[in-house]
Structure 1
Amino acid sequence: MYQSFEEASAPAASGDRVKAVLRELKTRRLKGFLVPHSDQHQNEFLPPCEERLAWLTGFTGSAGVAIVTDKGSALFVDGRYTLQAKKQVDSHVFEVLQVPEAKPSTWLRETLVRGNTVGYDPALHTIKEIERLTKTLAAAGIKLAPVPDNPIDGLWGSERPKPSAAPVYPHPAEFAGKSVAEKIADVQATLAKDKQDAVLLTAPDSICWLFNIRGGDIKHTPVALAFAVVPATGRPTLFVDQAKTGDTIRNALKPFADIAKPDELDAALKALAAEKAKVRLDPESAAMRFARVLEAEGAKFVAGDDPCTLPKAIKNQAEIKGAAPLICADAVAMARFLAWLDEVGESGKVDEVSAAMRLEDFRRETGQLKDISFDTISASGPHGAVVHYRPTNAAKRVLDKGSLYLIDSGGQYADGTTDITRTLAIGKPTPEMKRHYGIVLKAHIAIASARFPKGTRGQDLDPYARRPLWEAGLDYDHGTGHGVGSYLSVHEGPQRLSRLGTVELKPGMILSNEPGYYREGKYGIRLENLILVTRPENVEGGDREMMGFETLTLVPFDRRLIDPKQLDRAERAWLNAYHARVRREIEPLLVSDDRPWLRHATAPIG
């Protein structure tokens, strides 16, 4: 199995660990310390040796920050993780607060007093984050001080997991669609245009994309932890653990780049600073540590976006073309799983863990699966209301008759990454379940069928999905969609459909379309497909070209939960056309025993 179902949280230890941190802070004359869910690459998903927040609090979500002070401690999470955090964290030790309603800066200003100092690890916070927090706290007379030796690392001691030693390997040109030389040339052209001498790349997915390499340092995300310096002219340098680079990868990169040890990076930055070079850093993603290295030599970085982020997000023709067969393979696995679940789901013998394992088996049987793209969210009944629920052997629920079951999963394939969510009725659904499902389906269709002009941002489209929920007095506390990589991160920026989506949508971008609704203590509903931004086209009778979305995912929605009366004519037409396409493209790939199920699952609605 690619995933474990053992409990990873240890909230019982958090009280003693917080006390130990406070003792360390006292020796350093600090009143508080920030503990983010982060590493020096600002990854969303972390290797085990970087899970400091989980070690301290017991919270295992992918986003959050804890603040420890001698006046009390707090954990800040977003709406995806509020329920999870309350279950995993000792409330006697940490107050759990939801952002953006609660802000760490406000909490610190209310908890501490003028003259207090709060420590932070400059390797774990972005430049922009520290600049904002420093300014806000300064107004209250509170100082923010860098702590280069993180106290948690010493306290974690010998129990801290070892760093990954997974090998780096080439990503073939047939899947990448563009050579290393072409990508480097594009980055260098951007630097020349912006009159900059070099860029420091800190995001592993950017680096792996640029050099057409992949790795295994983060679970379910095929990246190698590395840094890179790309000069405006000359050869880039890849800073990566030498033990991970065998002859194959060295020979593949030899024509394009030099390879150095990670601990040589600071010397390279200092040399650039000594030359008064204009070094580009992305303040939204680069750790403050690197700005401090340059400043120590009397230089100052030049703020600029990571030049790999946007071209990585805009998939080339090879990446788009390659996504089609993997989408079909993944859809076949999902169809087989749904047919199986229809047969055994009401037996009382299927639980959240066994269902997730069975789906992984179906994906493996495609013969193409490299890994799953994230730990499967397999949630029955009230567990579905926990947005990023993770099933465990200790707390798994059986799929009960009369309940809803939410399954959010995906796969990593050489030619792309998938992410799909379906919500299913186990037995006969209640009218309330059908009503809420119908509202979420309307929200999903609103995005899938949207037309929009050049310059449209994700935040412009996010209300399309929310309107059906808002009209019913409902909402959901997560974005409507995120970018998806090509055999890279399942959560990819800068594109997103959310209130925070300020980047223009471009043809070739792949995003998720996943509105939801969550009724605490009862069930959760989320419907997710992957969508591709299409090229601008003329609209009959119009005077401006419009872009749109092509739905890539090909898996039926649960007809048992659909009341045709909730959908208008256009929505019914979209759904029937989608199901007809699913049947047309997937039925020939299914074994004969599953074809009757697919025909029934994709039958037109009235």
Structure 2
Amino acid sequence: MFQDFTTRSTRTHGPGRLAALRKVIASEGLTGFLIPRADVHQGEYVAECDARLGWLTGFTGSAGFCLVLPDTAGVFIDGRYRVQVKSEVDLTAFTPVPWPEVKAGPWLLEHLPAGGRIGFDPWLHTRKEVEDLRRALDGSAIALVETANLIDAIWTDRPAPPSAPARVHPLEFAGEPSAEKRQRLGAALMKQGAAAAVLTLPDSIAWLLNIRGADIARNPVMQAFAVLQANGDLTLFAEAAKLSDALRAHLGNAVTLRPVAAFDAALRGLKGPVLVDPASAPHQVGREIEDAGTPVLWAEDPCIAPKARKTPAEVAGMQAAHLRDGAAMVEFLAWLDAEAPKGALTEIDVVTQLEQHRRATGQLLDISFDTICGAGPNGAIVHYRVTEATNRKVTPGELLLIDSGAQYPDGTTDITRTLAVGPVPEGAAEAFTRVLQGMIAISRARFPRGLAGRDLDALARVALWSAGMDYDHGTGHGVGAALCVHEGPARISRISDVPLAPGMILSNEPGHYREGQWGIRIENLILVAEAPKIGDGRDHLCFETLTWVPIDRRLIVVEMLSRGERDWLDAYHAGVLDRIGPLVSPAARAWLSAACAPL
């Protein structure tokens, strides 16, 4: 199994570790210390050795931070984790803070009105984060102080860094040789007036070099740094044990290999101007370059935008991966529909069976994130991860929410289905139908080129808003091609101002959650595409669906759907049957035919 069900942290350690940290904070002449979720690469998912926030607090979510002061310790979490945090941290020691509604600056001003010194590790925060916080504290008596990492000073049994070998990502799936990417991006650097660019995001490096790794579970990346020169040459800072002879041959003579330990000195020796991303590079990277007297050009990582716009080969790989994954999902759902009503299954049984069906494809490299399988009230925990301690029976009369995905050689998948197990709970069908209406609205959207995710986000919420409902997460995130399941820069969210462009792949996943009862989410992946010309021929974009798995018709109040919504769902299910039917067993095909019947 890729997924395990152990409890990765425990709330019982929190108070003791917090007391030890406060002693170190005081000994350093500080008033407080800032602990982020991120590592030096600013990844959403971190290696065990970098899980400082979880080690201290017990909180295991993928986003957040903790501010430790002498008399309080705030754990800042967004809407996805409001329920989860209460079960993971010791509430006598830590106080959950709703973020970003409450930001770090105002919170510090409230809790330190007389001033203080807040330490932070400049390798774990971006330039933008530090500048934003300093602006928020401007005029106060609170100072931000760069310091060594104080968590590391008390984490005596910290795990070793990851050292998994990297591999070549075949050109047939990448669609463009690494040398051509480097030449293209190098030419763009020259136009920007930069002599070089520092790359700190592992997925940017993986995309640029057409390599993949296994340093971070669920994310096929190698932890490394790189410097791209304007002539297309590149220096890769990675541990030698990760680089096989085959991979070295793939990289070629234009890529110089150096150990990570040489990165700091290399930054000080760069000729400028040097492009550094203020939103993703560690604050210390810019500091090293500037302290050496070299000018810095603060601009976006040059890999981010082209990586988001998939090549035709990447799109084809994602389409093939979704057909393969759709067949595995249908085999699984047919099994689940037969077994769940018996009342003997647990959440762990469901997760295990789903992974077995994906393994049966013969091409599963990993799951793309830990499967979220929430029965009844656990479904209301947006990023719930079942453990042996929380494992719950799948009980008839409840909803079952399953959010899962896979990493295949040619693509990455992410799909959520909410299922009825026996009788439908009161109010669930109406809520499900409103969520479905939002998912359909995004799927059918046609919009002018230049619009961003924030311009479309409301389409997914209107049906919920009309009934006084909503959900506290974005509607969609970017997805990598055989890369990270969460990828920037585009997303469907109230705060996303990145214009959508052809080739981008996003999730479409509205939801609704009732704490203590159930959770509902429906998710497909969608591809941004050129829309056919109609009307006066304006330049419009649209979405093409990548995910082909039936949606539970038992939870739909058909009378609530418009004719257009019904037609879309019937056409979608006809497409599922046409594409997936030939790929599954006779028994699963019979189940699929019934599941895809017209409304």
Does the alignment reach a TM-score above 0.5?
Answer: yes
**Cα distance, 1:475 vs. partner?**
0.6
Alpha-carbon distance in 2 for matches of 1:408, 1:186: 37
| Number of the residue aligned with 1:583 | 577
| Number of the residue aligned with 1:13 | 13
Give the partner amino acid of 1:30: L
Contact 1:241 1:262 in 2 (8 A): yes
Alpha-carbon distance in 1 for matches of 2:73, 2:91: 10
**Cα distance, 1:9 vs. partner?**
2.0
State the Cα RMSD in Å: 1.0
Alpha-carbon distance in 1 for matches of 2:395, 2:109: 48
Alpha-carbon distance in 1 for matches of 2:9, 2:494: 31
| Alignment partner of 2:522 out of 495, 518, 527 | 527
Q: Report whether the alignment pairs 1:184 with 2:178.
A: no
| Number of the residue aligned with 1:601 | 595
Contact 2:314 2:410 in 1 (8 A): yes
| Number of the residue aligned with 1:224 | 222
Indicate how the Cα distance of structure 1 residues 194 and 33 shifts in structure 2: closer, same or farther if over 3 A, else same: same
Deviations 1:308-335 (A, max 9, x none): 0011110000011122221111001100
Q: Report whether the alignment pairs 1:194 with 2:192.
A: yes
Alpha-carbon distance in 2 for matches of 1:185, 1:537: 33
| Number of the residue aligned with 1:255 | 253
Contact 1:346 1:400 in 2 (8 A): yes
SS of the residue 2:564 aligns to: helix
| Number of the residue aligned with 1:243 | 241
Give the partner amino acid of 1:155: I
Alpha-carbon distance in 2 for matches of 1:234, 1:132: 33
| Alignment partner of 1:206 out of 199, 204, 207 | 204
| Number of the residue aligned with 1:93 | 93
Contact 1:75 1:95 in 2 (8 A): yes
Alpha-carbon distance in 1 for matches of 2:570, 2:402: 23
Contact 1:453 1:536 in 2 (8 A): no
| Number of the residue aligned with 2:440 | 445
Percent identical across equivalent pairs? 49
**Cα distance, 1:560 vs. partner?**
0.6
Contact 1:420 1:528 in 2 (8 A): yes
Alpha-carbon distance in 1 for matches of 2:253, 2:592: 50
Alpha-carbon distance in 2 for matches of 1:11, 1:244: 35
Contact 1:183 1:210 in 2 (8 A): yes
Deviations 1:509-536 (A, max 9, x none): 1000000000111000000000000114
| Alignment partner of 1:513 out of 508, 512, 525 | 508
| Number of the residue aligned with 1:155 | 154
Alpha-carbon distance in 2 for matches of 1:191, 1:322: 29
Give the partner amino acid of 1:316: T
**Cα distance, 1:234 vs. partner?**
5.5
**Cα distance, 1:104 vs. partner?**
1.4
**Cα distance, 1:99 vs. partner?**
1.0
Deviations 1:363-387 (A, max 9, x none): 0001111110000000000000000
**Cα distance, 1:545 vs. partner?**
2.6
Q: Report whether the alignment pairs 1:356 with 2:359.
A: no
SS of the residue 1:534 aligns to: strand
**TM-score normalized with structure 2 length:** 0.99
Q: Report whether the alignment pairs 1:546 with 2:544.
A: no
**Cα distance, 1:563 vs. partner?**
1.6
Alpha-carbon distance in 1 for matches of 2:131, 2:329: 46
Alpha-carbon distance in 1 for matches of 2:476, 2:72: 36
| Alignment partner of 1:489 out of 461, 484, 488 | 484
Contact 2:39 2:124 in 1 (8 A): yes
SS of the residue 1:30 aligns to: coil
Alpha-carbon distance in 2 for matches of 1:175, 1:165: 25
Contact 2:37 2:52 in 1 (8 A): yes
SS of the residue 1:511 aligns to: strand
| Number of the residue aligned with 1:323 | 318
Alpha-carbon distance in 1 for matches of 2:472, 2:495: 13
| Number of the residue aligned with 2:406 | 411
Contact 2:179 2:232 in 1 (8 A): no
**Cα distance, 1:41 vs. partner?**
0.4
Contact 1:71 1:112 in 2 (8 A): no
| Number of the residue aligned with 1:45 | 45
Structure 1: gaps (5+ residues):
none
Deviations 1:45-85 (A, max 9, x none): 00000000000000000000001111211100000011101
**Cα distance, 1:112 vs. partner?**
1.2
Give the partner amino acid of 2:346: D
- Deviating more after overlay: 371-380 vs 260-269: 260-269
Alpha-carbon distance in 2 for matches of 1:182, 1:235: 11
| Alignment partner of 1:498 out of 493, 506, 511 | 493
Alpha-carbon distance in 1 for matches of 2:539, 2:180: 30
**TM-score normalized with structure 1 length:** 0.98
Alpha-carbon distance in 2 for matches of 1:585, 1:296: 58
Alpha-carbon distance in 2 for matches of 1:139, 1:48: 38
Deviations 1:132-179 (A, max 9, x none): 1112113212100101x211112111x211111100111110111100
Structure 2: gaps (5+ residues):
none
| Number of the residue aligned with 2:554 | 560
Alpha-carbon distance in 1 for matches of 2:478, 2:524: 12
Contact 1:59 1:85 in 2 (8 A): yes
| Number of the residue aligned with 1:81 | 81
**Cα distance, 1:115 vs. partner?**
4.1
SS of the residue 1:80 aligns to: helix
Deviations 1:525-576 (A, max 9, x none): 000000000114312x334132100111000000111121010000000000
The total of aligned residue pairs comes to 599
Deviations 1:278-305 (A, max 9, x none): 0111101111010111122233421111
SS of the residue 1:293 aligns to: helix
Give the partner amino acid of 2:226: A
**Cα distance, 1:500 vs. partner?**
1.6
SS of the residue 2:79 aligns to: coil
SS of the residue 1:387 aligns to: coil
Alpha-carbon distance in 2 for matches of 1:52, 1:119: 15
Contact 2:183 2:231 in 1 (8 A): no
| Number of the residue aligned with 2:172 | 174
SS of the residue 2:83 aligns to: helix
SS of the residue 2:38 aligns to: coil
Aligned pairs for 1:301-450 (under 5 A) are: 301-450=296-445
| Number of the residue aligned with 2:111 | 111
Alpha-carbon distance in 2 for matches of 1:107, 1:70: 14
Give the partner amino acid of 1:262: V
**Cα distance, 1:348 vs. partner?**
1.4
Q: Report whether the alignment pairs 1:3 with 2:6.
A: no
Alpha-carbon distance in 1 for matches of 2:94, 2:184: 47
Indicate how the Cα distance of structure 1 residues 430 and 116 shifts in structure 2: closer, same or farther if over 3 A, else same: closer
**Cα distance, 1:453 vs. partner?**
0.9
Indicate how the Cα distance of structure 1 residues 67 and 185 shifts in structure 2: closer, same or farther if over 3 A, else same: same
Q: Report whether the alignment pairs 1:294 with 2:292.
A: no
- Deviating more after overlay: 450-459 vs 323-332: 323-332
Give the ranges of 4+ consecutive aligned residues of structure 1 lying more than 4 Å apart after TM superposition: none
Contact 1:180 1:256 in 2 (8 A): no
Contact 1:352 1:378 in 2 (8 A): yes
Contact 1:119 1:145 in 2 (8 A): yes
Alpha-carbon distance in 2 for matches of 1:481, 1:136: 29
Alpha-carbon distance in 2 for matches of 1:47, 1:20: 23
| Number of the residue aligned with 2:452 | 457
Alpha-carbon distance in 1 for matches of 2:73, 2:232: 49
| Number of the residue aligned with 1:65 | 65
Contact 1:64 1:78 in 2 (8 A): yes
Indicate how the Cα distance of structure 1 residues 218 and 365 shifts in structure 2: closer, same or farther if over 3 A, else same: same
Contact 2:373 2:401 in 1 (8 A): yes
Contact 2:199 2:205 in 1 (8 A): yes
Alpha-carbon distance in 1 for matches of 2:496, 2:31: 36
Indicate how the Cα distance of structure 1 residues 348 and 536 shifts in structure 2: closer, same or farther if over 3 A, else same: closer
Alpha-carbon distance in 1 for matches of 2:321, 2:233: 35
